[in-house]
Structure 1
Amino acid sequence: MISDNQTNTIYFSELLKTDFRFLKTSKQLISTLDDFGAKYNFLPETKDIWARDYMPIQINDDTYIEYRFDPDYLQKARKGYRDLKTYPDIVCDTLKLKTKKSDLIMDGGNFVKSTDCVILTDKIVKENRISYNKTNLIKKLQETFEVEKIVLIPWDKSEEYGHSDGMVRFIDNETVVTQYYFKDFEPMLKPLKQAGLKIEYIDYKVKEKDKRDWAYLNFLQTKDLILLPKFGIEHDDQAFEQIESFYPGYKGKIHQIDMNETVEFGGTLNCISWTTKE
């Protein structure tokens, strides 16, 4: 499995540059990535900015797994929802990227990975219940993504999308960082511990809690940099200091991006990016 800290190229939806709601964000990103000398590009034929969810998952230098992107939150009866569904095969054809197709139903935002382990919320069990029971689903995930460990954590029902990438991130193959509010939540901690993972927590000493504080773990990571959300609140500096402490190899390579434009729609930097090793 290609882990985030092995990737070297970043992609965003072209809509990030053209949708007036996200112009400030895209300008910051382009300026920052240019300053870092980072390699980035924009994806054609997309219907929304959440590239992480629909783009394939790279498991080695030459293999990209294209799962079935058919999330429940784009199946709603409300007018226009289906129009927001991106078809990854169309995007990949435009990129001339060959993929290996899988019948697994999932989102890339519910796929937090190291080189030998993947963490997903148990929403994936519900999504694939017609084709796989839980035991067979875990086996299928192991075989498809060529990893030894599959860790299922509880779906945080306050987050309708059921994604894991705002709940937990790998620091290295042996250690993860998760949110302070899971410190005493054993259903979350137990599966991580059973997988042999050490657990760190991101926490804040602030006068007033902020509902956006989950989003600091939704940072964008490549081999060469970490882009960390900020919101103009007192949490920002503390988040930066903690991420710098958790990832000492990135000292001087962490930059904060104002993500107020996207967070109100449910995601930030990991959500809007797709990273590859090229």
Structure 2
Amino acid sequence: MEKFLLDPKAPGAFSSDVMHKVVLNGIDFELPDDIWDVIDDAFGNYWNVEVGYGGWPDFNSAVRSISNWLQKEHIIFSLDKIATIVNVMFDWIEQIPGATLDDSEVVIPHNYEETERLRQEIKKHERNLKELLPGISGIPVSNFNDTLTNFVYISDKLKEFYPRTYSRLTKLFNEMDIEWGEIDGTKDIWIRDYMPIQISDDHFIVYNYNPDYLKDSGEEYLTDSHSIADGFLNHCNKSHYDITLDGGNIVTCAGHRVLTDKVFQENGKEKYDPDFCDYISHVLDSRVIFLPWHCDNPQEPDADVYGHADGLVHWAGDNRVLMSNHRDSFPEEADEIKYRLEAVGFEVIEMLFDVPNPNRDFNWAYINYLQVGNKIIVPTFGIPEDKQALKYIRDANPDCIVRGFRLRDIAKNGGALHCITWNIKK
């Protein structure tokens, strides 16, 4: 009797670009590319890994090794989905005539040499696998995104605190035929941070809004996210969750939600706690990508006390993600952000500026633009970087109408257009 091993270190092992066969008793059996494409999609391009085993001799080893690697890479993929796929693979082997499966190994009889019969059995179970995999392709993915929105809200405080900006912005909304409205009863202009997250046409997620950067301000600037959602979305389908989030720390990118790992600190959790990772994915109905965040000294000029993903990245359609010029201040962190996005198949376009005297007070903020359907408004600041930023965004969004909007007064306080708007589909 011989063990059936899926050897991650061997040429052609579970890697989407090379594995097209399995080996039984020294006989290679080719598997169609589309089968492995389905598996590759199911794991979101995570098959190309070394899990540290010479092979997976049993079910638990397979699940455990995959799970450990995914956790190490901060990738969210629930254990039940991993287990289901591994179970299908082992069931496929078990159904081969003469093979046995127990708690320790999969074995194939030495005397089983009817290669054509074996090929037919493999093909039958390939079909079963292909039918099953699309239904278990990881955490259910919400594909709702900015391109589907058709209405934008601003806080009633914007008119009170920044009347000229309010007047110019609403005028631009009208010029671009963007429908808009105001939300009453807010306590600051940063409406993105406390309003619910829309995950489908008629479903919103409501969370606790209690950021650490407002701890010293008492209740004066702290909008109650639950009460305002109940009052404003009284006819909508809402789910309330006991989790602390900032809307500005949630960026939708092609079926993924991108957050900085500050979310763990805000919820009193160890970084990348697996149970909490699963919970976030459940709340957001999506796969989650965590970006690194640090703030060693909040008093430093470049310190990021907010930890918002919408100040780092913006989805630009298909697999394109625009990334801010974070590299200018934190090159190592920028490398890690880019790596984590590219690891799941995104093309990352960094907005780096070629100007004699970069203006770091403002040039980080272009990424914080607003998109409503196919209309984009980009914050501008009357600096040389403006022209290059607009080109980056227009090139990345070729089917969109892109306009600039001067926003120095808002940006000097740490936010920009995405922060002061809340776009939804009505």
Q: Is the 8 A contact 2:249 2:308 kept in 1?
A: yes
Q: Quick one: which of 352, 367, 374 aligns to 1:224?
A: 374
Equivalent in the alignment of 2:304: 159
The amino acid of 1:162's aligned partner reads: G
User: Is the counterpart of residue 236 in structure 1 residue 370 in structure 2?
Assistant: no
Equivalent in the alignment of 1:4: 146
Q: Counterparts of 2:231 and 2:244 in 1: how far apart (Å)?
A: 23
1:131 Cα shift?
9.3
* Structure 2 CA distance for partners of 1:61 and 1:96, relative to 1, 3 Å: same
1:93 Cα shift?
3.1
User: Is the counterpart of residue 260 in structure 1 residue 405 in structure 2?
Assistant: no
Equivalent in the alignment of 1:112: 251
1:181 Cα shift?
4.1
* Structure 2 CA distance for partners of 1:243 and 1:110, relative to 1, 3 Å: same
User: Is the counterpart of residue 60 in structure 1 residue 200 in structure 2?
Assistant: yes
Q: Deviations over 1:100-138 (max 9, x none)?
A: 101111100100113410111110111123599621122
- The TM-score, its normalising length taken from structure 1, stands at 0.92
* Structure 2 CA distance for partners of 1:132 and 1:217, relative to 1, 3 Å: closer
Q: Is the 8 A contact 2:269 2:276 kept in 1?
A: no
Q: Counterparts of 1:231 and 1:36 in 2: how far apart (Å)?
A: 20
1:190 Cα shift?
2.1
The amino acid of 2:313's aligned partner reads: V
User: Is the counterpart of residue 91 in structure 1 residue 228 in structure 2?
Assistant: yes
- The TM-score, its normalising length taken from structure 2, stands at 0.61
Q: Deviations over 1:42-72 (max 9, x none)?
A: 0111000000000000111111000111110
Q: Counterparts of 2:192 and 2:165 in 1: how far apart (Å)?
A: 17
Equivalent in the alignment of 2:355: 206
Q: Counterparts of 2:197 and 2:213 in 1: how far apart (Å)?
A: 21
1:186-205 superposed matches below 5 A: 186-205=335-354
The amino acid of 2:393's aligned partner reads: I
Partner SS for 2:309: coil
In the alignment of these two chains, the number of paired residues is 270
Q: Quick one: which of 152, 159, 178 aligns to 1:38?
A: 178
Q: Which runs of 5+ in 2 are unaligned?
A: 1-141, 296-302
Partner SS for 1:12: strand
Q: Counterparts of 1:140 and 1:262 in 2: how far apart (Å)?
A: 34
Identity of aligned residues (%): 29
Tell me which structure has the larger Cα radius of gyration.
2
Q: Deviations over 1:199-255 (max 9, x none)?
A: 1111211110112111000000111310100111111111111111110011xx211
Deviates more, 1:190-199 or 1:211-220: 190-199
Q: Deviations over 1:126-153 (max 9, x none)?
A: 1123599621122112212211x21111
* Structure 2 CA distance for partners of 1:75 and 1:195, relative to 1, 3 Å: same
Equivalent in the alignment of 2:163: 23
Equivalent in the alignment of 1:168: 313
1:156 Cα shift?
4.7
* Structure 2 CA distance for partners of 1:244 and 1:210, relative to 1, 3 Å: same
Q: Counterparts of 2:233 and 2:212 in 1: how far apart (Å)?
A: 28
Q: Counterparts of 1:121 and 1:201 in 2: how far apart (Å)?
A: 17
Q: Quick one: which of 395, 418, 426 aligns to 1:245?
A: 395
Deviates more, 1:195-204 or 1:127-136: 127-136
Q: Is the 8 A contact 2:253 2:321 kept in 1?
A: no
Equivalent in the alignment of 1:135: 274
Q: Counterparts of 1:130 and 1:181 in 2: how far apart (Å)?
A: 26
Equivalent in the alignment of 2:134: none
Partner SS for 1:84: coil
Q: Counterparts of 2:386 and 2:270 in 1: how far apart (Å)?
A: 43
The amino acid of 1:169's aligned partner reads: H
Q: Which runs of 5+ in 1 are unaligned?
A: none
Equivalent in the alignment of 1:150: 288
Partner SS for 1:17: helix
Greater relative CO, 1 or 2 (CA 8 Å, sep 6+): 1
What RMSD in Å do the two structures reach over aligned CA positions? 1.8
